[in-house]
Structure 1
C-alpha cells in the first residue's frame, strides 16, 4: 500500500493505484447466484473508512424507510439505525470511492444515489426487505434500484451480519461466532473495508425476490456502513442552464417535504444539480 496522509482534514492519496478507480478482481468472492451477490475483500482502505465515519458522525438522524404505497419516507420499527446522506462527489475521497464503485459494477456513476452512511448500535437492525421499489413514486426517480453496494466501515464484534433469508441453500459452516439471525441464509460478517455487491433485479430487469436481505441485530460493538444504491436510469443529471424542474411532479414532491427528505435527488450539488431545484427554491 502507498502512503496516505491528512491535509486540512482531507485524506490525500500518494502513489497508490488501489486508491483510484482501479479494482482487483482477484479480491472478489462469489457468494451466490440466487441472488447474485459478491464480496470484495479490502474494497476501501482503513483511512477511507475512518474519513467517511468522521464526515457522518455529527449529522446522524433516525433512519427511515419508503412507504410501499405512497413512497414517502416514514419511520418504522423494521429499521432502527441512524444515518445521513453524503453529497455526490462531496470531496475527493468520496468521489474516488464512487469512481471505484462504477468501475467494479460496470454501472454508470450517474445512475447512483448519494452514499448513505449508517450506524447500528447494540440491538439495532434492519428487518429483511427489498431494495427495489413497490411504489410508482420512487420508480419515477431513476427507475428501480438494480444493484446495491454495501461498504463496511467498522468491525462489529458480534452480530450485525447481512443475511439473505431467501437465498439458495447456504453451504457455509457457521460456528458460534455467527449470530442466530445470520444462520437463516447466506450471510456476510461486517469487516472494515469489505464491500458487498448484490443485484435486486434479474438480468432482464425484473425484480429478484431472492434478493430479500436484512441487517442482523448488533450483539456487541458498533457497526458502521455506507450504502450506494444504483438505478437502471440516471439519478440526478449534470448541470443545465437556467432554472427549471425536470419532472412534472416536482411541485407535488416539494409540497410533501422531499426537498429536505431526499435532497440528493431534489436539490443535488453544484456538480450534480437535482431534478427539482426550481420547486425547492434553490435557484
Structure 2
C-alpha cells in the first residue's frame, strides 16, 4: 500500500486491502494506525475506511423483508436540533443551551448548560430514595433483566411526573425538535467507583424475539440524550468507540446522538467508562419513532 500520490486517491486496491483487514478481524483503530504509519492523511484514511466498509456491509448483508432488494433496515426520521446556521446557542423554551461540538456522521452533539446546578441536584435528590440495581430491556423476552455489562443503580421517572420533570421534558422536546410524547420517561443512573456500562447500542435488535413486543409501545428508539447530573472526580466519560470520541461528564452538560436504523452501520456504539474516583449521576432520555405509551 503506497501513499505517495499527492492526492492520495482511494483506489480499488486500497478498498480491497481494507476489506481484507476487516475480514481478518483487525479493529478499525488498528487499520487506521497502519494507514497513518504508511503515510496516509488521517482524514483520507478515515473516509476510505468508512466508505469502503459501508459499501461492503451493504453488499454482503443478508436481504431483509423491508422492501424489494433492501439490504438494510429502512431509514427512519430522527430528532434533529436546529443546527443549520451553526449556532453557538439554541433557545429551548426556558433556557439558552450552548452548542459545544457537532459531529455529522454519526450525528453527535454535545450541549452545555442544558440543566442548571439546582435542577441537577433536585433530580438526584428525587431519585436517590428510589434507586435499585439497573436493569436493561430484555430483547429476548420484551421484559427487563439485570445486565452484567451495566454496573450501576437506577430508576425511572414517569413522563410528566413532577413539575421539574415536565419543565425539563419540554426543554428537551424544543431543543431536539421532537414530540414530547415520543419520549420515554427519564432514567436516572448512579455509577460509583468502578461502575461502568460496556459499549452497546440503544436501538432494539430486530433479530431478537422480544423486539416486536417492545416496538408496540412507540416503535424503535431513534435518539438518545444523556445529561450529566453529578461529576465524578475521575473517569466516567461517555465513549463512542467507532469514532474515537469521549465526552467528559460535566455537570449540566449533555450529549445527544441519533440513529436512523437499528443497525451497526449507524456507528452509535457507545458506553460509559468506569468511574475511577467519586460517583457519576446521569439522566437519560430515549426518543422513539412514535408516541410512547
Work out whether the TM-score is over 0.5: yes
The count of aligned residue pairs is: 199
- 1:181 is matched with none
Separation in 1, partners of 2:203, 2:239? 17
Q: Shift of the alpha carbon at 1:20?
A: 7.1
CA deviation vs aligned residue, 1:49-85 (integer Å, no higher than 9, x gap):
0000000001101111222322321112100100001
- 2:275 is matched with 218
Separation in 2, partners of 1:28, 1:20? 12
Q: Shift of the alpha carbon at 1:209?
A: 3.2
2:283 partner SS: strand
Greater fraction of residues in helix? 2
1:102 partner SS: helix
Separation in 2, partners of 1:208, 1:105? 22
- 2:62 is matched with none
RMSD: 2.0
Is residue 200–residue 208 contact of structure 1 (8 Å, CA) maintained in 2? no
Q: Shift of the alpha carbon at 1:139?
A: 1.8
Q: Is 1:136 matched up with 2:212?
A: yes
CA deviation vs aligned residue, 1:16-74 (integer Å, no higher than 9, x gap):
xx99724536x113342232110111100000000000000011011112223223211
- 1:64 is matched with 135
CA deviation vs aligned residue, 1:215-241 (integer Å, no higher than 9, x gap):
0000011000001111000002xxxxx
Q: 2:115 aligns with which of 34, 44, 47?
A: 44
Q: 2:249 aligns with which of 172, 183, 190?
A: 190
Give structure 1 stretches of 5+ with no counterpart. Answer: 1-17, 168-184, 237-283
- 2:29 is matched with none
Q: Is 1:24 matched up with 2:96?
A: yes
CA gap of 1:146–1:108, structure 2 versus 1, over 3 A, is: same
Q: Is 1:157 matched up with 2:233?
A: yes
Normalised by the size of structure 1, how large is the TM-score? 0.66
Q: 2:179 aligns with which of 108, 111, 114?
A: 108
1:211 partner SS: coil
Give structure 2 stretches of 5+ with no counterpart. Answer: 1-89, 206-210
Is residue 92–residue 172 contact of structure 2 (8 Å, CA) maintained in 1? no
1:118 partner SS: strand
Residues 1-283 of structure 1 aligned to structure 2 (within 5 Å): 21-24=93-96, 27-134=98-205, 135-167=211-243, 185-201=244-260, 208-236=265-293
Normalised by the size of structure 2, how large is the TM-score? 0.64
Separation in 2, partners of 1:91, 1:19? 23
Larger-Rg structure: 2
